[in-house]
Amino acid sequence: MPAKGRDRTVKRGFKEDFLDKVSNREAKIAVIGLGYVGLPLAAAFARKGFPVVGIDVDSKKVESLSRGESYIDDVPSEELRSLPDFRATTDFGALSKTDAAIICVPTPLNKTQDPDIRFVMAAGQEVAKYVHPGMLVVLESTTYPGTTEEMLLPMVSHDGKLRVGEDFFLAFSPERIDPGNPVYHVENTPKVVGGVTPACLEVASALYGSVVEHVVPVSSPAAAEMTKLLENTFRAVNIALVNEVALMCDKLGLNVWEVIDAAATKPYGFMKFTPGPGIGGHCIPLDPHYLAWKLKTLNYNARFIQLASEINADMPRYVVGKVTDALNDERKPVNGSRILVLGVAYKKDIGDVRESPALDIIRLLQGKGADVVYNDPHVPELELDGEPLRSIDLTEEALRWSDCAVIVTDHSDYDWDWILQHAGLVVDTRNATAGVGGRARVVEL
């Protein structure tokens, strides 16, 4: 006999069905974009027993994954091959049979430093082709507040014909993958989630909650989009601050590294950042511009972002000024000098050169007539404005050959003692040689 009063059975809808599929690990998950964000995410869901299909437009990536060969260090090939139910395809038609589609495609800047969301829009169009009742769609790509609701929602809902929160679900959840981080990975990095409706938030939180230890629900997709931009704008602005402090200490004749280390002894209210040759990577130089652009459309000038960008972008020129002065002290013009750049990756112990300040430093030195070579144990070769460059072997001869060695990326591989034994002049932009003796004259940032 049914209990007296209100019918106790829950009206079953798509939300309840979705939640059931998540709790018994039957939800079929598609991850669109199999790069340093998408592949680790796909692997995390597959490790939990979900059937996962990875979709990417790059057939080479798909073929490699289908052969069980990973191109992402954080998902080694042997792990890829051990995933219980993962496949990769270029066919977006696979979406017609999935319960969730998570978009992890790049969001670069275009030539005028404005957001370029064409990859998000292209993925959205594919999702719109195959969206079906009960499906959850999540955008993870870093983007400006409003993208999910203003750009993706009309597309995926077919201009409202599908009711969001009832017929399908839509959310934003910023990626927080830190490639190579030995401590933080998908499962133990808190995941911020913002749904278009409460039901969207509920199903997206349930899905992520099945793989991530801590889900952080927020009130809307825009709040989630803004959260990610705050995280990375915070870094860009604070890096710019210490870069400007380095310029100030130079004027004051103070050692910026000593000052920062001393400030870092404050047990509260301070967070250590370090100056450097500029900022690289696919996040910090770009993400703040997404925020500044959006605010410009609202007639607001994001001054901190603009100033930080100017200071960070000017650091390569400042480094070249240091090199110029150091050579000048030895009566050597930059023009014709032999310069060895040590480390070209955008940060230590990785091989990624995207937006690396080393590239700007090489360009500027070449522009002044220097003969520039580089060594980077993680970057065997690179292309600079169409010109192929290869990493030279780091030998005693190479160090003695150089009129100046410039430490741009302080990879752990480097033996600073040995380098200072054989180089004559070193410009150190990373404080890598602090406390290291040797023959070389060292000029600090």
Binding of ligand SAJ by 432 (CB under 6 A): no
Is residue 15 part of the contact set for ligand SAJ (CB under 6 A)? Answer: no
Judged by CB under 6 A, the stretch of 91-99, 112-120, 176-184, 437-445 that binds ligand SAJ is 176-184
Per CB under 6 A, the list member of 117, 284, 404, 443 interacting with ligand SAJ is 284
Is residue 239 part of the contact set for ligand SAJ (CB under 6 A)? yes
Residue 350: burial class (beta carbons within 10 Å; 0-12, 13-18, 19+) = middle
Site for ligand SAJ contains 281 (CB under 6 A): yes
CB-based contact 368:334 (threshold 8 Å): yes
Q: Which of 17-25, 274-282, 288-296, 361-369 is the region at the interface with ligand SAJ (rule: CB under 6 A)?
A: 274-282
> How many residues belong to the site for ligand SAJ (CB under 6 A)?
18
**Which residue of 231, 250, 314, 349 would you call a contact of ligand SAJ, by CB under 6 A?**
231
Instruction: Name which position in 21, 28, 176, 289 contacts ligand SAJ (CB under 6 A).
Output: 176
Q: Judged by CB under 6 A, which stretch of 232-240, 262-270, 370-378, 392-400 contacts ligand SAJ?
A: 232-240
Judged by CB under 6 A, which of 32, 72, 135, 177 binds ligand SAJ? 177
What minimum distance in Å lies between the beta carbon of 255 and ligand SAJ?
17
Tell me the window of 97-105, 117-125, 162-170, 273-281 that interacts with ligand SAJ (CB under 6 A).
273-281
Contact 68, 77 (CB under 8 A): yes
Task: Closer to ligand SAJ by CB, 204 or 311: give it.
Answer: 311
**Minimum separation from the CB atom of position 270 to ligand SAJ (A):** 13
Nearest distance from residue 229's CB to ligand SAJ, in Å? Answer: 10
Stretch that binds ligand SAJ, among 57-65, 126-134, 172-180, 301-309 (CB under 6 A): 172-180
Give the shortest CB-173-to-ligand SAJ separation in angstroms. 12
Q: Is 279 in the site for ligand SAJ (CB under 6 A)?
A: yes
CB 282 → ligand SAJ: shortest distance, Å?
7
How many other C-beta atoms can be found within 10 angstroms of the C-beta atom of residue 20? 12
Q: Which residue has the tokens 């349930």?
A: 206
The torsion region of residue 146 among left (phi > 0), alpha (psi -120 to 50) and beta comes to: left
First to last CA, the chain: 80
Q: How many residues does the chain have?
A: 445
Q: Which is nearer to ligand SAJ, 53 or 342 (CB)?
A: 342
Of 172, 346, 374, 416, the residue at the interface with ligand SAJ (CB under 6 A) is 346
Q: Hey, which residues are catalytic here?
A: 283
Q: Is 280 in the site for ligand SAJ (CB under 6 A)?
A: yes
Distance of CA 347 to the CA centre of its chain: 12
Candidates 124, 165, 276, 343; binder of ligand SAJ (CB under 6 A) is 276
Give least dist CB 53 to ligand SAJ, A: 24
Pick 104 or 153: Cβ nearer ligand SAJ: 104
d(CA 299, CA 295): 6
Q: Is 178 in the site for ligand SAJ (CB under 6 A)?
A: yes
List 147, 157, 232, 433, residue binding ligand SAJ (CB under 6 A): 232
Kindly state whether residue 104 participates in binding ligand SAJ, applying the rule CB under 6 A: no
- Extract the tokens encoding 444: 């600090």
**List of residues 6+ apart from 298 with CB closer than 8 A:** none
Question: Is 411 a residue that touches ligand SAJ (CB under 6 A)?
Answer: no
Burial of 378 per CB tally in 10 Å (0-12, 13-18, 19+):
middle
Task: Kindly indicate which of the ranges 62-70, 231-239, 371-379, 398-406 contains the residues binding ligand SAJ, using the contact rule CB under 6 A.
Answer: 231-239
Euclidean distance between CA atoms 128 and 440, whole angstroms: 62
Query: Which residue is at the shortest CB distance from ligand SAJ?
Result: 281
The answer to the question of residue 50 lying near ligand SAJ (CB under 6 A) is no
Give yes or no for residue 347 binding ligand SAJ (CB under 6 A): yes
Q: How far is the CB of 235 from ligand SAJ (least distance, A)?
A: 5
Residues that bind ligand SAJ in the complex, under the rule CB under 6 A: 175-178, 231-232, 235, 239, 273-274, 276, 279-281, 283-284, 346-347
